[in-house]
Chain A
């Protein structure tokens, strides 16, 4: 009987030939991840379990990225818990400030995740690594504690939904727009408990940055994981990065899907998701009367060098609107340095933008760009829930980097097409 890529990876990690959707299985893990918000609770629970040490000191990644560089004393105490634990257990993948990046951009770039892996992370956007053809999903702190001790976890094998994107992508339309449009179509629980498999010619032609963005937001439709079959683009990306062997899995032609959804991308415009749910997706042409106070370009969704290049191409020679604060956050130190080398950082600063060291910061209303009551921000981030970027009476509009950059210049939501 045919299986999907997700089933095959889960089967391979549970010592089975075949797994059936709905089955509960124990899965061996290739990597487990925690951050400065979730790992302190995981470490507390890990101590309660009473395991001597972690299952594999090279397969536990601890990334202090949410409230760092430490935004207050309490956050500093939390990061210290990660640092002390990492020293005690000789964890090789603790990323100190200066080496740290936004976790879901950092780990693939560091070569810690590869095709065919099974990964959990105590962060909901752990589903990002599906872009490499890995099974990867978010869990909570206690699940992370268990996985750090045992190197395994339990899963219900998810049902699968296949999304087929066909047609040529219009200018300024990106992976971000495809996923926002998809969430708009199926809703924030449209893929609840399910695997979302992204396929079709538009995906085959998409670079890794766009693929990471799409898998990153599978959780925003309630999905357990997002996944894309590896191909030459994946191989090119992992070359020289991946530190372990990997395995390529592909879905069988006769694999079973709960649903198959086809989307013609040639008809799409850039999408903006209005407050307060990612499913409130509108084409940019219907969104141009919204004034903004802030534009954030960054996060685990859109903080890659490709994203910064697009933003810089629009901001070059232009100025940020006097009523707008532009905040640009390269996702990792490597991207930060690349942005300097390519002259992108200079473009952002010349335009009147602030460029930050890597952090999740404003995405979750932590620091580095928190909103006051009544303020609006366009953001390349992933969530626009009530209070997400600050005050409960503030608003977040999710968009791609081109829209965020153009809007920063226009002082309102708008497309690069509107700039002279």
Chain B
């Protein structure tokens, strides 16, 4: 069970604001995390606590294919991202790197910045502790569930190669 405070953002949060290109001269997750969300919310790094949750409207993670974006978010302590929709490369990158993401417009509409939220990832149930309301996220197709269950694409590849 995931539980944390919500940091809420709007539409089209792009990967350039999640992790600006001026920091892409490193691949170190800790260094990337220290600049996470810097160009949209300069205080994010100071206020984020382990377990916290990002909630956003449409098209989260649009723009560049940089996997540094989900890596920075995960390493910053964020335990899951809930959005109306995700941009497709960010969606793949999150599955591949083990950052839990959930599509649930009802939850996005019913959750405010600072709310306490619990997520049962197994069943896709989102519970807003602050308001007492519950929401059901869209389920993943079976293949993507398998990817998540084995811990991402690298483990999936290892199994395929018999490593």
> Which residues does A use to contact B, with CB under 8 Å?
24, 37-38, 40-41, 44-45, 48-51, 66-67, 71-72, 74-75, 78, 122-124, 126, 138-143, 145-146, 149-150, 154, 188-189, 192-193, 219, 222, 224, 277, 364-366, 383, 385-388, 392
Once bound together, how far apart are the Cα atoms of A314 and B97, in whole Å? 48
For A50, what are the chain B residues with a Cβ–Cβ distance below 8 Å? 158, 161, 163
The reply to whether B67 and A141 form a contact with Cβ atoms under 8 Å apart is: yes
The reply to whether A154 and B39 form a contact with Cβ atoms under 8 Å apart is: no
For B160, what are the chain A residues with a Cβ–Cβ distance below 8 Å? 150
Q: A122-B65, A154-B143 are in contact. List 4 more A-B contacts (CB 8 A).
A: A140-B97, A188-B12, A386-B14, A386-B40
Instruction: Name the one of B20, B39, B67, B89 contacting A41, with C-beta atoms under 8 angstroms.
Output: B67
> Which residues does B use to contact A, with CB under 8 Å?
12, 14, 16-17, 20-22, 24-27, 39-40, 58-59, 62-68, 70-71, 85, 87-89, 92-93, 96-97, 141, 143, 152-154, 156-158, 160-161, 163
The reply to whether A38 and B66 form a contact with Cβ atoms under 8 Å apart is: yes
Given A67-B25, A74-B26, A143-B96, A49:B59 Cβ within 8 A: no
B140 CB, nearest partner CB in chain A, Å: 11
The residue in chain A whose Cβ has the minimal distance to the Cβ of B64 is A124
Given A140-B65, A143-B96, A48:B154 Cβ within 8 A: yes
Instruction: Name the one of A37, A48, A145, A150 contacting B24, with C-beta atoms under 8 angstroms.
Output: A37
For B25, what are the chain A residues with a Cβ–Cβ distance below 8 Å? 67, 71-72, 74-75, 78
The reply to whether B157 and A392 form a contact with Cβ atoms under 8 Å apart is: no
For A75, what are the chain B residues with a Cβ–Cβ distance below 8 Å? 25
B103 CB, nearest partner CB in chain A, Å: 11
The reply to whether A193 and B88 form a contact with Cβ atoms under 8 Å apart is: yes
For A45, what are the chain B residues with a Cβ–Cβ distance below 8 Å? 153-154
For B143, what are the chain A residues with a Cβ–Cβ distance below 8 Å? 24, 154
7 contacts between A and B (CB under 8 A): A38-B65, A74-B26, A145-B154, A145-B157, A150-B157, A364-B16, A366-B24
The reply to whether B89 and A277 form a contact with Cβ atoms under 8 Å apart is: no
Instruction: Name the one of A41, A48, A51, A385 contacting B63, with C-beta atoms under 8 angstroms.
Output: A385
Given A49-B163, A140-B93, A387:B152 Cβ within 8 A: no
The residue in chain B whose Cβ has the minimal distance to the Cβ of A22 is B141
The reply to whether A41 and B68 form a contact with Cβ atoms under 8 Å apart is: yes
For B65, what are the chain A residues with a Cβ–Cβ distance below 8 Å? 38, 122-124, 126, 138-140
A159 CB, nearest partner CB in chain B, Å: 12
The reply to whether A142 and B59 form a contact with Cβ atoms under 8 Å apart is: no
